[in-house]
Structure 1
Amino acid sequence: MKAKQPVIINQQPGWRRALHQMWADKVLYLLLLPTLIYFILFRLWPIWNLRMAFYNYRARGPWEWVGLKWFKMIFDSSAFGDILWNTLVISFMKYVLLFPFFVIFALMLNEIRSTRFRKYVQVVSYLPHLLSWVVIAGIWMALLNPSTGAVNQLMGFFGMEPVDFMTDKGAIRWVLFFSEGWRSLGWDSIVYFTAILAISPDLYEAAAIDGANRLQIIKSIILPALVVPMTTMFILNLGFFMSAGFDQVFNFTNPAVNSVIDILDTYIYRLGLENGQYSLSCAVALIKGLVGVVLVLLTHVASKKATGKGVW
């Protein structure tokens, strides 16, 4: 009686070999299962349902095809232009104006010689990122209160009149800017600080032998090492350019300033969840997503041609 020949996985077809490998790593795939379910339910399934933007959605019964009806309605709306402008301005402040401060903060952390003090600064700067925007909004509203807030009390010490920043249309965008910076400064600088720590000590020793001062070291050694992470992060940030941060704006808004900080995400929220106009809100979301994809692709191509580096 012939002995049964063992199955040689490497000689099997590609799909069968892949199944064998998956079965061998079944415990790892089981651990990955919750993440896969999350992405299927909250990423892939919503992408498929973006087709709602071309239909007249009905909770019961078949959807009616309407083509570009909702898109025409959006671009004919006078409110959409103002909301789009608010989104672009706030995104520019958060993703472009704030961007250099994260790099500067990483450079400042690297200049702290006391390891203990540096860790303290890192922990303190990271903590705000762990707070929800509900808590952060409460903190900033207390700080900016026109009668009891620390900021207005400090202004009063110098003889300045109190300002209600939360209802001031000229100040509310800067409130969003500084609160975002306070929350994200430490956390978003991690990538750059890690890149600085990865620089070979031999480069510093060679620079010291050549007599380079600290500014020359930063200019010639540290900043070139940050080009790749800076380029990657900037391109990825542009993918969120049409978002501008729903959680932040939703918690900071009020009727007095809504006209200058009403963004696409809050507009979608009102149309979909408050007014039940699901197809119309889906069309706005589709426009926002497509613009984000185009911005990432354009900046990636431009970065590839200019520096040879991109996201992929």
Structure 2
Amino acid sequence: MHLAVYLPLLFPVLAALAAGPLSRRLEPRLATWLMTIAALVLATSSTLVLGLLALSGLVRIPLVAALKDYSPDVIAREDPAAWPAALAGAILLTLAAIATVRLTTRRTGALWSAALEAACLPGPDPVVVTDDDSADAYTMPGLPGRIVISHGMLDALDPAGQQILLAHEHAHLDHHHYAFISLSQLAAAANPLLRPLAGAVAYTVERWADEHAAQHTGNRRAVAETVAKAAVATKRTRARRRIPPAALGILGRPATPGPVPRRVAALLSPPPHSPPVLLLAASMLLAASGLCALEAVHDLHQFLELAHAH
């Protein structure tokens, strides 16, 4: 194979380095869509190249070559990938497949459990207020999805803060933010180099909801104060938090409180704008990854046709 066809295995490194700047400088809705699509494209391209490497090694096995009527001499002379590369591709492809199946199973189970739990919540209203004294608020996907808010969280906020909280959670619910997180995590399971991209998506969906609340209320500072108040109130009752794995809340994932100060700082700054240079660079990276993967397919097809013709 040409050197260029190996580039899809390296492009995820560039994407991981770009995840931080993209999440900070792009408008959150655009950043979420772009990075989710990028994660899927890069994971698909790298997995395809690994599959082609594994296949190029598989046809070197005499029994396989005999079954497909391939010429051993042509395979030995024209093989597009050396044995070490083919073996490494096969091992990495196997590990990627196992990790993807495991995550898909876990994530599907979490979403199904969340949907069942949401359906069992009392009342037809999408907003459910619990008697829990601990401060908590999150959105559960389902048909329909539900917004769960504790009395403790309502007591920690004034009426304006409560409206901001509802606007934030409605953004999670209406825009299906759990789907973006699930897809980016699936891509990261297939290619661990994409984990920073998946983490950035988890951050930008929160920023998306923050900006939605800011537009809804017209007061960015008030939204920043509400996020900070919710973080302080939740920290006091952290030990009793019971958020379902598929839920999304105003504080994001309970195990990662670090992005909260970044979100507050972003809300205290002017609304973000999307630099065209970043968008162009990201688009070129995705296009290059796709073209290199197609080139790998073309090279392997020519190799197999040549081996079969002889």
| TM-score normalised by the chain length of structure 1 | 0.25
Larger Rg: 1
Q: Which one scores higher on RCO, CA 8 angstroms, separation ≥ 6?
A: 2
